[in-house]
Structure 1
Amino acid sequence: MSFVKRNTVLSARPGRPLPQAAAEKQQLAPGIRPSPLDGRPTTSTGTASLDQLLAGHGGLPLGTCLLIEEQGTTDFSGIVLRYYAAEGLVQGHQVHLVGFPPEWRHQLPGLAAPDKKSNAAQPPPAPEEKMKIAWRYEALGNSATAGASTRTDGANGTFCHSFDLAKRLSPSACKGTLHPTSSTGPPMLGPRSRSSTTSPFRAIIAHLQTKLSTSAPTEIHRLVIPSLLLPTLYFPECTQPSEILPFLHSLRALLRQYPTQLTAVITLPISLFPRSAGLVRWMELLCDGVIELIPLPANPAAPPPPPPSSSSKSAADKQDQAPQGLLKVHTLPVYHEKGGGGAATSLFRETLAFSLSASRGLTIKEFSLPPVEGEEGGERPGEGKGKEEGIEF
């Protein structure tokens, strides 16, 4: 029979070590914060609306891979990839580029200038007036203005920067390093040597393995793979399942081996490699998250944009917010294979759209058709006139 009083907290013995969670607590690397769902370290993709889409983690969890598929000849996925690389360089991460030369860094967007008017109009609230909410929601910031402003985390500095596509990333703003990997064999560099039996994918995995094994445990690495299997960037042999599938399997193994250091974002042109092909389906299974961008056809009958002026600023803002394509969510990165991110399951049933502007970047929101003239508040031709003539007092 126990004589210990119930509802009494037992204190730790003198000299007893602290719990393992408290002993391992340390300062996170720049650009890293815990997930509000399970505490897993996450990093920003450089696009605030995309961070909010990733299964409620508020960012891309470390140790996961995101595959962005795109139809047509547009390059919206390439812009998302540039945001991802620029965010890594600004945060001081190591960015590894596949398939492109080092000059690709000159295409990265620059940091946007802070909005002084909005900061002056909305001063920070006093500490005593600050609303007390749960810590996991407090870290996410205001999702309504996340696409137009810089999201910050008070404990670890800026989490997601705001970029301007009209500018170029200056070397002074880069704290990280861009590491181009070995060439994957563009035709402009000549045909692949028959004497060389080493696959370019194996060289990429070996490069990543060397960098990860020799780096500090707190150093963050980002893998950038634009336009995977594009014929102008890769040898024809790279499209064989015996080449690309082992590469993705090895990349998945590296992500699981370094779950707190490595993330990857890949873009795939599905106009050349449709999702109905078995190879693409296997590639999707080897990635943790899969989203698809479907650009909307341009309207040739649309009037040209008005010249820049103060009166046409609101009209230009509405034009920038007009949806330029649809977004489908096929798979979202979760914490483990048993599940996770259940609050985001409704995204698979919703119709999402995206729009791109130079100042706001890529914005993802729910797709809704504009009201048709003559329905729900719009007057049909001749209807308003008849009502006015029939009113008598």
Structure 2
Amino acid sequence: MTTVGSTSSFQKKGRPKAPSIPGTRTSIHNAQLLVSTGIPSLDFLLGGGLPVGSILLIEQDTYDVYSKLFLKYFLAEGVVNKHLLTVASLDINPTNIAENLPAPTDTDLSDDSEKVSDKEMTIAWRYQNQKSPLSSLDHSRFGHDYDLTKVIPKEIISGVDLGLWDASCGQVTKPTSLGKEFWSLLKFIQKRIEASSLSTQCITPKTNVMRLGLHSIGSPLWGPEFGKSEKDHQWQSLTGFFNLLRALVRNSFSVCMISVPSHLFVDPALIFRIRSMCDFAVRLESFQGSDKETNSVFKDYHGLFHIEKLAAINSLVPTMLDSTDWVFKLKRRKLTIERLHLPPELSETVSRSQEDPIGKSSGLACMGGGLPRNLDF
């Protein structure tokens, strides 16, 4: 007979805890595991960070200057937190991207166990075991500041699990509907996920995440999907790649930042289809080489930052922002995103002589002529 006290099967179970991974935190809004993009202002616009298992689409500016900086910030944050990195590009050598990442401004990246302090504290014995505030980088901090004038040393990058993909990383002999470059990159990403046991189907505890930095996907070097074929909606290779990439990222502890040259696309339906396959989509409109570069309204900024899509994760609506006009600029050696503040529309030729005289606006004007010009007291 079952007693009243034997109710162990009805005990309330606690919510499963999120894995403790360096450089990540749990969102207070939707309990999603987040990573930093390396740009704190961009993290704020995305709702606190980039969720693990999501894709951020960066629509490049015309000369691919600032979109490349966004990608470098994203990868530099991964180096600081010892995340797995995968860099892919056909337009430039991915090694050049990995070797020119901005260095953090907090402190150096050296490990405490490998450093020997040159100066020892001799004030009191109780201070000798204390760590210097500048001895090492705080890996528990979410997001860091970076200096574009300095690069991370090569010996630090060599200690990170880094995978580089370009046109020389093997070709696919099996016929496929995708282009050989697209299929080769997908297989490369899949192998890295399986080798690191980052798949959600793997029951081993996750201790790290992989950052995918894919540069200029869909440029003319990726295949002949431009011109007439693009107008006829024949871009199955590019959209098929995004669809399979989303499946890989969704089913693994990975996060992806991918840039595309949307200004080269002839068919507007292509970029709308790509946005629908990504979780977040932003578009960069640089002032470089345009009429806005000399416009006094935008003299303090370097381009417009358009938010095309925000993800609604574990909620019915995405994050609601208090502004729709955003700009980006290089401020003090770093890239920041700010609200667009227009200057006051006041003419410089306006002088106080054009204002109404004080006598005409005062109550004494009704007493006959107003105040005299010179008053003697």
TM-score over 0.5 (shorter chain) = yes
Partner of 1:168: 151
Deviation of residue 59 (structure 1)?
A: 0.3
Partner of 1:277: 268
Q: Measured at CA, do residues 176 and 333 of structure 1 come closer, stay the same or move farther in structure 2, by a change above 3 Å?
A: farther
**Do the aligned residues in 1 keep the contact of 2:310 with 2:319 (CA within 8 Å)?**
no
What is the rounded CA distance, in whole Å, between the counterparts of 2:13 and 2:340 in structure 1?
A: 48
Q: Measured at CA, do residues 392 and 29 of structure 1 come closer, stay the same or move farther in structure 2, by a change above 3 Å?
A: farther
| Aligned AA (1:250) | L
Partner of 2:87: 97
Which of 245, 257, 266 is residue 265 of structure 1 equivalent to?
257
Partner of 1:207: 188
Which of 298, 304, 326 is residue 326 of structure 1 equivalent to?
304
**Do the aligned residues in 1 keep the contact of 2:86 with 2:163 (CA within 8 Å)?**
yes
Aligned length: 306
What is the rounded CA distance, in whole Å, between the counterparts of 2:6 and 2:331 in structure 1?
A: 57
Is 74-83 or 165-174 further displaced after alignment?
165-174
Question: Is residue 178 from structure 1 mapped to residue 178 from structure 2 by the alignment?
Answer: no
What is the rounded CA distance, in whole Å, between the counterparts of 1:106 and 1:37 in structure 2?
A: 36
**Do the aligned residues in 2 keep the contact of 1:184 with 1:234 (CA within 8 Å)?**
no
Which of 336, 339, 349 is residue 316 of structure 2 equivalent to?
339
Of all paired residues, the percent bearing the same amino acid is 26
Q: Give 3-state SS (helix, strand or coil) of 1:83's partner.
A: helix
Q: Give 3-state SS (helix, strand or coil) of 1:73's partner.
A: coil
What is the rounded CA distance, in whole Å, between the counterparts of 1:18 and 1:207 in structure 2?
A: 43
Deviation of residue 225 (structure 1)?
A: 1.1
Question: Is residue 86 from structure 1 mapped to residue 76 from structure 2 by the alignment?
Answer: yes
Partner of 1:234: 222
**Do the aligned residues in 2 keep the contact of 1:166 with 1:358 (CA within 8 Å)?**
no
| Aligned AA (1:280) | I
| Aligned AA (1:104) | I
Deviation of residue 200 (structure 1)?
A: 1.6
Partner of 1:38: 30
Q: Measured at CA, do residues 92 and 392 of structure 1 come closer, stay the same or move farther in structure 2, by a change above 3 Å?
A: farther
Partner of 1:372: 345
Q: Give 3-state SS (helix, strand or coil) of 1:271's partner.
A: helix
| 1:347-392 CA distance string (max 9 Å, x none) | 5xx2111112353x22112112112343xxx670463799699965
Q: Give 3-state SS (helix, strand or coil) of 1:264's partner.
A: strand
What is the rounded CA distance, in whole Å, between the counterparts of 2:164 and 2:262 in structure 1?
A: 25
Partner of 2:101: 108
Deviation of residue 29 (structure 1)?
A: 0.7
What is the rounded CA distance, in whole Å, between the counterparts of 2:86 and 2:172 in structure 1?
A: 27
| 1:74-107 CA distance string (max 9 Å, x none) | 5111101110011111111111111133232122
| 1:185-219 CA distance string (max 9 Å, x none) | 9xxxxxx9997856121121112212212324222
Q: Give 3-state SS (helix, strand or coil) of 2:328's partner.
A: strand
Q: Measured at CA, do residues 340 and 33 of structure 1 come closer, stay the same or move farther in structure 2, by a change above 3 Å?
A: farther
| 1:235-258 CA distance string (max 9 Å, x none) | 436986221111110011112212
Which of 246, 256, 265 is residue 250 of structure 2 equivalent to?
256
Question: Is residue 157 from structure 1 mapped to residue 140 from structure 2 by the alignment?
Answer: yes
Deviation of residue 343 (structure 1)?
A: 3.0
What is the rounded CA distance, in whole Å, between the counterparts of 1:205 and 1:323 in structure 2?
A: 37
Deviation of residue 37 (structure 1)?
A: 0.7
What is the rounded CA distance, in whole Å, between the counterparts of 2:171 and 2:250 in structure 1?
A: 34
Task: Let me know the Cα RMSD of the aligned residues.
Answer: 3.6
**Do the aligned residues in 2 keep the contact of 1:96 with 1:222 (CA within 8 Å)?**
yes
What is the rounded CA distance, in whole Å, between the counterparts of 1:184 and 1:237 in structure 2?
A: 21
Which of 40, 46, 56 is residue 48 of structure 1 equivalent to?
40
Q: Measured at CA, do residues 193 and 16 of structure 1 come closer, stay the same or move farther in structure 2, by a change above 3 Å?
A: closer
**Unaligned stretches of 5+ in structure 2?**
108-136, 198-205, 360-371
Deviation of residue 176 (structure 1)?
A: 2.7
What is the rounded CA distance, in whole Å, between the counterparts of 1:287 and 1:252 in structure 2?
A: 7
What is the rounded CA distance, in whole Å, between the counterparts of 1:13 and 1:369 in structure 2?
A: 66
What is the rounded CA distance, in whole Å, between the counterparts of 1:388 and 1:171 in structure 2?
A: 71
Partner of 1:246: 240
Q: Measured at CA, do residues 171 and 253 of structure 1 come closer, stay the same or move farther in structure 2, by a change above 3 Å?
A: same
Partner of 1:69: 59
Q: Give 3-state SS (helix, strand or coil) of 1:265's partner.
A: strand
Question: Is residue 357 from structure 1 mapped to residue 346 from structure 2 by the alignment?
Answer: no
What is the rounded CA distance, in whole Å, between the counterparts of 2:174 and 2:274 in structure 1?
A: 26
**Do the aligned residues in 1 keep the contact of 2:106 with 2:144 (CA within 8 Å)?**
no
Q: Measured at CA, do residues 330 and 237 of structure 1 come closer, stay the same or move farther in structure 2, by a change above 3 Å?
A: closer
What is the rounded CA distance, in whole Å, between the counterparts of 1:193 and 1:171 in structure 2?
A: 29
| Aligned AA (1:218) | T
| Aligned AA (1:234) | W
